Amino acid sequence: MTEMLKKNTRTSITVQLKQGKEIKHNFSLDIDTHLSDPGVVGIFGESGSGKTTFLRSFAGLLKLPSAVISFNDEVWQNDQIFVPTHKRSIGYVFQEDGLLPHLTVQQNLDYAVRRKRKVSMEGLYKKVVSILNIESLLSALPDQLSGGERQRVSIARSLLQQPRILLMDEPLASLDEKRKREILPYLERVSKQFVIPILYVSHSVEEIARLADYVLVFKQGRIVEEGSPNSVFAKENPFIGLSDEVGVVLDGVISAWDEIWELSTVSTDCGDLLIPKAGTVVGTTIRVRILAKDVSLMETPESKSSILNQLSADVLELSRDQNTAMSLVNLRVKSAHLVARISRKSIDQLKIAPGKSLWVQIKAAAVLN
Partner 1 sequence: MLTPENMAAIKLSLELAACVTLILLIFGTPLAWWLARSESSWTAPVGAVVALPLVLPPTVLGFYLLLAMGPSGYLGQLTATLGLGTLPFTFSGLVVGSCLYSLPFVVQPIQIAFQSIGNRPLEIAAILGASPIDRFITVALPLAKPGFLTATILGFAHTIGEFGVVLMIGGNIPNETRVVSVQMYDHVEALAYDQAHPLAAAMVLLSFLTLLVLYFYQKVRGRAKTNFGVSI
Interface residue list for ligand ATP (CB under 6 A): 23-24, 27, 45, 47-53, 95, 143-149, 174
Per rule CB under 8 A, is residue 62 in the interface with partner 1? yes
DSSP assignment of 142-208 equals: GGGS-HHHHHHHHHHHHHHT--SEEEEESTTTTS-HHHHHHHHHHHHHHHHHHT--EEEE-S-HHHH
Q: What is the CA radius of gyration of the chain?
A: 22
Contact indicator for 51, 237 with CB cutoff of 8 Å:
no
By CB under 5 A, name the binding residues for Mg ion. Answer: 52, 95, 146-147
Q: Are 106 and 142 in contact (CB under 8 A)?
A: no
| Cβ proximity to ligand ATP, 23 vs 81, nearer residue | 23
CA-nearest of 56, 59, 7 to 29 is: 56
> What is the smallest separation between the CB atom of 100 and partner 1, expressed in angstroms?
6
Picked from partner 1, ligand ATP, Mg ion, none, the partner binding residue 31 (CB below 5 to 8 A depending on kind) is none
- For the CB of residue 64, give the shortest distance to partner 1 in the complex, in Å: 5
Q: Which is nearer to partner 1, 65 or 283 (CB)?
A: 65
Listed ranges 71-79, 93-101, 254-262, 296-304: which one lies at the site for partner 1 (CB under 8 A): 93-101
C-beta of 337: minimal distance to its own copies in Å? 18
Report the alpha-carbon distance of residue 114 to residue 163 in Å, rounded.
13
**What letter represents residue 48's amino acid?**
G
When CB distances are held under 5 to 8 angstroms depending on the partner's kind, the choice from its own copies, ligand ATP, partner 1, none that residue 61 binds is partner 1
User: Count of alpha carbons within 13 Å of 179, Cβ hemisphere only?
Assistant: 16
Q: How far apart are the first and last CA of the chain?
A: 16
- Residue number, 17 or 333, with CB nearest to ligand ATP: 17
Name which of 250, 246, 263, 213 is nearest 333 in CA terms: 250
Q: Which stretch binds partner 1 (CB under 8 A): 3-11, 109-117, 130-138, 299-307?
A: 109-117
Angstrom distances, CA of residue 335 to CA of 166, 268, 271, 314, 338: 34, 9, 9, 11, 10
**Side-chain-side CA neighbours of residue 77 (13 Å):** 23
Closer by beta carbon to ligand ATP, 223 or else 329: 223
Please provide residue 91's backbone torsions phi and psi, each rounded to the nearest 5 degrees: -100, 140
Segment lying near partner 1 (by CB under 8 A), choices 98-106, 193-201, 222-230, 249-257: 98-106
- CB of residue 164 vs its own copies: minimum separation in angstroms? 26
Binding at 100: pick from its own copies, partner 1, Mg ion, none (beta carbon under 5-8 Å per type): partner 1
The minimum distance between CB 130 and Mg ion, in angstroms, equals 22
Nearer to its own copies, 74 or 302 (CB): 302
97 counts as binding partner 1 under rule CB under 8 A: yes
Residues 16-35 that bind partner 1 (CB under 8 A): 19, 23
- Give residues 121-150 in contact with partner 1 (rule: CB under 8 A): 141, 143-144
Tell me which DSSP letter residue 277 carries. Answer: T
Q: Choose among 239, 237, 236, 184: nearest CA to 212.
A: 184
Least distance from C-beta 352 to its own copies, angstroms? 8
- To the nearest whole angstrom, how small is the minimum distance from the Cβ of residue 253 to ligand ATP? 36
Q: Which is nearer to ligand ATP, 105 or 254 (CB)?
A: 105
- Separation CA 228–CA 231 (nearest Å): 5
- Residues engaged in binding partner 1 (CB under 8 A): 19, 23, 53, 57, 59-65, 84-86, 89-92, 94, 97-102, 111-112, 115-117, 141, 143-144, 157, 161
